[in-house]
Structure 1
Amino acid sequence: MYERIGEASLKNGASMEIGVVLCPDAEHADEIRPFLGHKGQPWQHHIEGAVAGPLDDLETRFYVGKVDGRIITNIMTVEHVGVGILGHVYTTPERRRLGACNAVMEAQMEEFRTRGARCLYLGTGFDSAAYHIYKRNGFGSVLPRSGFMSYFTEDGFEAAYFAARPCTAREVRWDDWGPVTALTGSHDGDWLRSVAWRMQGPESFEGDFLGLRQRIADGDVDAHVLVTDDGARVGVATLGRHPMWGDARLLDVLCHPNYWPDARKLVDALATDARTLTYVDSAAHAKLDALTALGFLAEVTLPARARRRLRPDWRPSDADADMFDDSAFEDTPLDVTVLAR
């Protein structure tokens, strides 16, 4: 479905129509696919699937600028329950430096706010030209000197989103893409977030989610999420072959601190008869308690295997000040304990 949401005059005098394509959309599929064909895999797999038909409850939107009826610039968002990721920002080379991308982004952000959506995440080069375009549109670095950026339409988003309430475990679906990045990008939680995905501290799961989807499809990994009744993703766990220990399985579990009491739901959903190893850093006391209660026992402790790089009490406050706030950083070694069951 296509909706016109604005228009703009480019610096060369051309008139540009601004619209949004809500997928699936057969009419625009043949133009969007080649327009973003340079993205390659794994991104192209999502683009092909989104324009052709529903991907679970994932909402994929392409915000486009058209001159003489042809797309010259694009911004994509993927969302569920108003939580999403912004990406695939691209303008044809001959139409750059004309203000096309800026105009589409202003319209896109206004449309995002108007329909009551809540937050977006993106990844770009820190302090790059693109970084400053996003910053002008309200995005800020999740941590200093980082191109991982977030935008919120409401104050106190994380406190409300992750507030304790009932949740259930289910298999990972396409519509978990944006909400799981809200979980991995949260400032609350353990430092060692995933061994399988090499994740420490607040990080984006944008690209790795597509890798996870492929590994699930290949049968290499099983994955479940904790979901509240109103759609917040508050925990995620994956189970796959351990890369070092033969027939053992590697279990990764990440929960928001308010949801470690519910970790059993994730672990039980991924039950296996094989020997299972999981990893806990020395500051992750709630995670250790939750896994110990599920029968995991400490096997070995690896001294200083992880290093906390960000103060636990640091939170973003001002987009300008946060960019270079080196007081946010620390270098604290954390022991990592291997648990087995």
Structure 2
Amino acid sequence: MAGGDKVVLVTGVSRDLGRRCARALAEHPSVGRVIGVDAVPPRGDIGRVSFVRADIRNPIIAKVIAKEDVDTVVHMSVIATPGSAGGRNTMKELNVIGTMQLLAACQKAPSVRDVVVKSTTTVYGASNRDPAMFTEDMEPRRAPRAGYAKDVAEIEGYVRGFARRRSDVRVTMLRCANVIGPHVDSPLTSYFRLPVIPTVAGFDARMQFLHEDDLQGVLEHCVSTAIPGTFNVAGDGVLMLSQALRRLQRPTVPMPAFAVGGVGSLLRSARVAEFSPEQKALLTYGRGVDTSAMREVLGFEPRFTTAEAFADFAADLPPTGGRSERALTALIDRIPAGGPRGGGHG
């Protein structure tokens, strides 16, 4: 669609990925204006994006959509890390209540024609009963009981409900593989940046990645072409965790699964890295998603393969060694050699 007349609202612009994607959308020829929304101002240059300070958990978001005559909403305000949100309860509120309020505002706004939601392949979970590749119509083998994966499942349910109630709106849901790149700060990139990397002994997880530039690319594609549906989005191919770690040339410590959970707790409390139960499952069993619909229906082809996306991320990492490596090794040494105490996460 040419003419630059679209008015796009982007949520979650205080975080780097949201800010960068909003900036890229503002430069797209089909877009006239971009309104970036978040509860706190973004750090860094937002280019031609107009920032509006608004919490999407508050009904005020409906007034922003109406006042700006928004026709396209890009929802990126789904948070994977409790630490960055101020705790698990706040994270759930931002993710689930925020999405509910945003969709309620979209439902009431006659100007809204297109809604694009950045979801995640985390919705499929990761277990020893998974298929080789998840297609979009498959359910997780184990329904998530808590945390980020449960939030995403609830969010997707609300999005499907909205699509039924506003059948005139084109709703595109993007289940993105783990986004990676030099500028990405996420639980998984924090893990790969560790000077010593704990792994789950006896397992070699299959990984798929989406380069940060391809996330921008697929959002631009969806805003300009507006093809409804749910799509897995990932770079071509898979990378085994062992291959990825060899490319990083960092020391690894294979550990029993319960001990990796213990390391995760220590890393969290030391504010070194977020290490959720979902991430532990991913690093144990891995996950693969089929991206045929992304190419054949959505009409999008990532520029980076999974291996190329990881290589670009790895090329930017500083060399390891010294005090940080010794400190992390000391942390790992504190994990008891026996079994886990109490229940813990399955």
User: TM-score, length-normalised on structure 2?
Assistant: 0.28
Structure with bigger strand share is: 1
- Which is bigger in relative contact order (C-alpha 8 A, separation at least 6)? 2
Larger Rg: 1
